[in-house]
Amino acid sequence: MDRFNHPPGRMTRRSLLGATGVAGLALMTARSWAQSLYNLGLPGKLSVRPLTTAFPQKGEMVLQRTRPPLLETPMEVFNVGTITPNDRFFVRWHWAAVPEAVDEAAFRLKVRGHVDKEIELTLDQILHDFERIEYQAINQCSGNSRGLFQPSVAGGEWGNGAMGNALWTGIRLKDVLDRAGVKSGAVDVRMGGLDEALMPDAPKFLKSLAVDHARDGEVMIAFAMNKEQLPLLNGFPLRLVVPGWYSTYWVKMLTDIEVLDHPDDQFWMAKAYQIPKTPFGNIAPGTKDFPKEPINRMVPRSFVTNLKDGQLVKPAAPLAISGIAMGGDAGVAKVELSIDDGKSWSAASLGADGGKYAFRRFAGSIATPVSGTMTILARCTNNNGIAQPPAMIWNPGGYMQCGIERTRITVGGGV
Amino acid sequence: MNRTIALAFLASGLMGIAGCSQEKGASFSAGQAVASVGQDFALQSVSVSFPPDKTAEFPAGAGADAINNNCRACHSPAMILTQPPLKHEEWVKEIDKMRTTFKAPVNDADVPAILAYLDNLSARQNEGSLAAPGGAATTK
């Protein structure tokens, strides 16, 4: 029985039977039948997850883990526009001590460490005492698509939905740092949220940016997401926005900013989230010794969103293809499509430009074959001339997947 | 079958993406001062509750007591039940990581039973007889 080759997406009872097998069914309670399940299309491993609407301020999400919450955005959401709605935006926490309540009046953002004077800002000050900035930016988990890694690696087994694009409004991190006065000799700026480690001597989740990056005028302390306050699970009341960089730096419930006069060498910077120092963080599976660096800038990706892998289509007919692309740390220059496994490419047309850090839609059309199957490839190239690599990349952390996606279609009778 | 790309690709302009204009573009700067959120925008205190875990315990099996006693304090069983099939040495490393890095208080005496449970989990996944971890916090 082939339990892995099912088209991803919401499952019917019949595809569920195929996917879990008889032994699997015996383990399921009658109650499970009432749940909607979602197949992430993960190769060589358990690929099915429950869909849930039980999380506060969240719509229907793919449930990866209840505590601490890991919620994935179903791919259908990306077939609508370029902005990911707040209630469908993916959720990712490391430690389960996430507060369930935040008091607007009591909340403070502290700036301390290697500064002229430590400061504490109220939310009212943050909203009214600083110049506001606003831009669209993609927030993508470092481990987005980890579940698609072959060979598999341990970690959060995401499909492609640990990403989203929002319009962020807030103030410059630079302006807040200037108010405290960064002393010369500052090296890193370390961010912490209201979430805490569960063991007293275990590493609290903290992330740092080099001081020049922190002061580049783009890094934002956001108080609004798509013109509304952030859902608690996405970091209410304040979240760092580091455009063009992976989500691990976008510290949620940001409450503490510490300027360091030395490189941040704590666990979450020095041990976790390390990538090989190679193009696209790619190494041959199984490679043990390689130079590492903390994950940083994002790279281009593109996804066909109007078709599901394995979709049945009409024979010898035009087939519309559309999807979303991201340039990573630079804008989308072009998206191309191929139906001959990358031997030749044809440019897709691009949708509205929401800025260099935003999703951009693409569209094209192909003629379907008379019979059989066809594989559609989409490739994004960014404004720095960086194109997606031809094959899926690999590294032991399961980070930075960016290989060209392949969408198979099958010509089917009666479609 | 004729699959030459010139024939296969129809004019992409046919697709007509809504609002396909070239706004902003190269001159865009993420640091420039603008905000569509007005000065009257205000933040409201939030108080919510997170849903309970529907799969709060590991499914029955040899070693279930040991894994239930040691591996649920910090995360749902789903963190472990959704892992790909891992080799014995990989599970050993995961348990070490939990103890040394994350300070998981794991009883030495329980480690062999936890490993037996985890090895069995991977074996069942390899043979395709593992059910999706439940825990959908809602029904539809």
Domains of chain B: residue spans and CATH: 3-40 (no CATH), 56-139 (1.10.760.10)
Per-residue confidence band for B20, with pLDDT thresholds at 50, 70 and 90 = very low
Contact A156, A65 (CB under 8 A): yes
CA distance A44 to A52: 24
Q: What is the b/e burial string over A218-255, where b = at least 16 CB atoms within 10 angstroms of the residue's CB?
A: bbbbbbbbbebbbbbbbbbbbbbbbbbbbbbbbbbbbb
Give the nearest chain A residue to B85 (CA atoms): A45
Of residues B139 and A368, more confidence is placed in A368
* Distance between A1 CA and the closest CA of chain B, angstroms: 8
Average pLDDT over residues A263-281: 98
pLDDT at A415: 64
The H-or-E segment that residue B78 falls in is: helix B78-81
CATH superfamily of A109-294: Oxidoreductase, molybdopterin-binding domain (3.90.420.10)
- Residues 186-245 of chain A whose Cβ lies under 8 A from any Cβ of chain B: 197-203, 216-218, 220, 223-224, 227, 229, 232, 236-237, 243
Residue A40 has pLDDT above 80, yes or no: yes
Per-residue confidence band for B29, with pLDDT thresholds at 50, 70 and 90 = confident
Residues near A66 by Cβ (< 8 Å), separated by ≥ 6? B50, B51, B52, B53, B54, B55, B76, B78, B135, B137
CA distance B138 to A34: 9
A274 touches chain B (CB under 8 A): no
CA distance B93 to A173: 39
pLDDT at B27: 44
Q: Which of B44, B74, B84 comes nearest A44 by C-beta?
A: B84
Tell me if the domain spanning A301-411 has CATH number 2.60.40.650.
yes
A97 touches chain B (CB under 8 A): no
Average pLDDT, chain B: 80
Residue A70 has pLDDT above 50, yes or no: yes
Per-residue confidence band for A281, with pLDDT thresholds at 50, 70 and 90 = very high
> Cβ B139–A216 below 8 Å, yes or no?
no
**Cα dihedral sign, B34-B35-B36-B39:** negative
Per-residue confidence band for B13, with pLDDT thresholds at 50, 70 and 90 = very low
- Rounded to 10°, the helix B111-127/B88-100 angle is 130
Q: Which of B45, B90, B128 comes nearest A102 by C-beta?
A: B45
CA distance A206 to B52: 27
Q: List chain B residues with CB under 8 Å of A199.
A: 74, 102-105
Per-residue confidence band for A413, with pLDDT thresholds at 50, 70 and 90 = low
Contact B86, A95 (CB under 8 A): no
Of residues B17 and A258, more confidence is placed in A258
A327 touches chain B (CB under 8 A): no
Residue B9 has pLDDT above 50, yes or no: no
Least reliable range by pLDDT among A6-10, A179-183, A275-279, A383-387: A6-10
CA distance A16 to B124: 18
- At residue B127, φ and ψ (nearest 5 deg) are -90, 0
For residue range A240-256, what is the model confidence (pLDDT) as tens digits?
999 999 999 999 999 99
Average pLDDT over residues B59-75: 98
pTM for the predicted model, two decimal places: 0.91
pLDDT at B133: 61
Per-residue confidence band for A26, with pLDDT thresholds at 50, 70 and 90 = very low
pLDDT at A275: 98
pLDDT at A279: 97
| Domain boundaries, given as residue ranges, for chain A | 32-92, 109-294, 301-411
